[in-house]
Structure 1
Amino acid sequence: MSGIIKIHARPKLHEPNMLAAWPGIANVAMITGTYLAHKLNPKPLAEVIAPYFFDPIGVLVRDNLVESPQFPESRFFYWKNKPGKRDLILFLGDDQPSSKTYELAHAVIDVAERFGVKRLYTCAAALTRIHHSEQPKVWGAATRDAILDDLKAQRLVMGGDLQISGLNGLLLGVAKERRLDAVCLLGEVPHYASRFPNPTAALAIAEAMQKMLDIEVDLAELKEQAAEAAGRLKEMTAEAMGDYIDYFTEPIWERGENEEEEEDGSPGSQN
């Protein structure tokens, strides 16, 4: 971990859990992680030395002056729960590196072990045939059979065989290699809306996450974001459906005019 992670604080934490999030499909993980960080207001704990994992591809120029290269931030935070309850470590990565992802996952687990993390959580999107107007369910996956019982008790969906892409998934595999209990909560997202940020799925995960982490978070703002996003998606799908209908159908009145023109201009017509 030396040279890859910079430690900013050394708090004494009570059997902490960890939630790690990177950008992914529908940005579900980052919406969840950043919202919890916004509401809990955690303190800085550590950070990943960015140049080790990221290569800048250019620089910004402002008023003709070149700025220093900018790197994505990958930071750890800690939050103290009420006495007797488990504390929380949050890891938020602004971006996923194009290489050394396995090494980055090990670095995150190094920090988890250093501060005595008992269970690691990630979150992601579960692409399904759900309609955007439906309430998304939360799926669960875990590194041990015993943990699955906890997920079933929370009435999470056991999706069976699936693939969790990117570091939000890879981190679980590395946690299993390192014998650290880990869980992924996946919010349902429509296949046709995978490119759009989905705070509705993030809200469903956050509600489940509150119970599993034993924390209290005001979700009112996230509910507003979900309602606004649902409204925009409804407008977009209605517009797309209108375009589809216009492209593959022809109004009756236009069809009649075309038929008359064809009859008048036909080879057998008499003028």
Structure 2
Amino acid sequence: MPSTEIKFVHVREMPPAVTNGELHLVCGFPGSGYVGKLAVDHLIHELQATHIADIYSSSFPPQVMIRTDGTADLMKNSIFFWQQPEGKTSLLLLTGDSQPSNPDSEYALAEQILDFAGRLGAKQVFTLAAYITGVFVDRPRVFGTATDAETVATFAGRNIAVMDSGGITGMNGLVVGIAKLRGMKGICLLGETSGYVVDAKASKAVLESLLGILGVTVDMSNLEKRAKDTEMLIQTIEQQMAAGRRLQAGAESQQAPQKPRDTTGYIS
């Protein structure tokens, strides 16, 4: 059955040709804890990156997003461009309102993103994601995987824990995997998070690792403020959980003691 998906790219402005240095694609899709999206949104804001393209798809949820200026807009993925003044490093920064709702559309979107980045000369792709543990931590670790062993070997020196099992689902995995088939280097950096809250602490940890690899410096103060908000939220949740456990323990202690069961019965 032919696909009925409708998707298109609206190019706002083509970036200048990258003649010196390297062009990297960095993707921050919305997902658990918004780890990747927060990191890329922070980069876009602090670097004052240029908005160059939007990708629309009928595989996104059927709704509009209300922006901070009060306007409504179809759900989309957006690509921004930034280049160091000296021209050593250039970035394509992708952020989005949603990931596609089905596997076929995820593959199609990943191909389209890489087509666009490839035409502009990108040779290396990063996806920023969440490493979900289900527990709260004070200092989130950063995990990583890459499409080549040489890159993986550099992780230890950057305090990035190497993933040696499991899988990465959704766009964060597909973009890296398809990039490898195209002869592009792919790296996924994952910030340790509980998965229960929007986790700016994990975003900050991932972004610091990314910037170390790229050799780019940005002001982190705004993200640090959001990370402190995350800490306060986690503390509130932990206090509520502790209070709930105390109430449960108190209720159980007030129950009438039960008569011990006869353990000599027939066992089948």
Q: TM-score band, normalised by the shorter chain?
A: 0.7 to 0.9
Distance of aligned partners of 1:197 and 1:225 in 2 relative to their CA distance in 1, 3 Å threshold:
same
Trace 1:251-266 onto structure 2 (pairs within 5 A).
255=254
Listed one character per residue, the Cα deviations across residues 13-60 of structure 1 (whole Å, up to 9, x for unaligned) are 242111011111111011111111111110122221x14543626999
Distance of aligned partners of 1:76 and 1:160 in 2 relative to their CA distance in 1, 3 Å threshold:
same
Q: Give the corresponding residue for 1:65.
A: none
Q: List runs of 5+ in structure 2 lacking aligned partners.
A: 1-6, 257-268
**Take 2:174 and 2:57, find their aligned partners in 1: how far apart are those partners?**
21
What amino acid is aligned across from residue 187 of structure 1 in structure 2? Answer: G
1:54 aligns with 2:45: no
Provide the aligned C-alpha RMSD in A: 2.4
Trace 1:105-124 onto structure 2 (pairs within 5 A).
105-124=110-129
User: Which structure: larger Rg?
Assistant: 1
**Take 2:33 and 2:65, find their aligned partners in 1: how far apart are those partners?**
28
**Take 2:65 and 2:118, find their aligned partners in 1: how far apart are those partners?**
36
Assess if the C-alpha contact under 8 Å between 1:56 and 1:70 holds in 2: no
- TM-score scaled by length of structure 2: 0.82
1:181 aligns with 2:185: yes
**Take 1:29 and 1:11, find their aligned partners in 2: how far apart are those partners?**
26
Selected match of 1:172 from 169, 172, 176: 176
1:74 aligns with 2:77: yes
SS in 2 for 1:232: helix
Distance of aligned partners of 1:136 and 1:51 in 2 relative to their CA distance in 1, 3 Å threshold:
closer
Q: List runs of 5+ in structure 1 lacking aligned partners.
A: 61-67, 260-271
**Take 1:122 and 1:58, find their aligned partners in 2: how far apart are those partners?**
25
Percent identity, aligned pairs only, is 25
Q: Give the corresponding residue for 1:36.
A: 43
SS in 1 for 2:78: strand
Assess if the C-alpha contact under 8 Å between 2:61 and 2:98 holds in 1: no
Distance of aligned partners of 1:150 and 1:92 in 2 relative to their CA distance in 1, 3 Å threshold:
same
Cα drift, residue 92 of structure 1: 1.1
**Take 1:224 and 1:59, find their aligned partners in 2: how far apart are those partners?**
25
Cα drift, residue 251 of structure 1: 9.2
What amino acid is aligned across from residue 215 of structure 2 in structure 1? Answer: D
Trace 1:94-243 onto structure 2 (pairs within 5 A).
94-99=97-102, 100-128=105-133, 131-132=136-137, 134-190=138-194, 194-243=195-244
Q: Which has a greater percent of strand?
A: 2
Assess if the C-alpha contact under 8 Å between 1:189 and 1:198 holds in 2: yes
Assess if the C-alpha contact under 8 Å between 1:130 and 1:188 holds in 2: no
- Higher alpha-carbon deviation: 101-110 or 230-239: 230-239
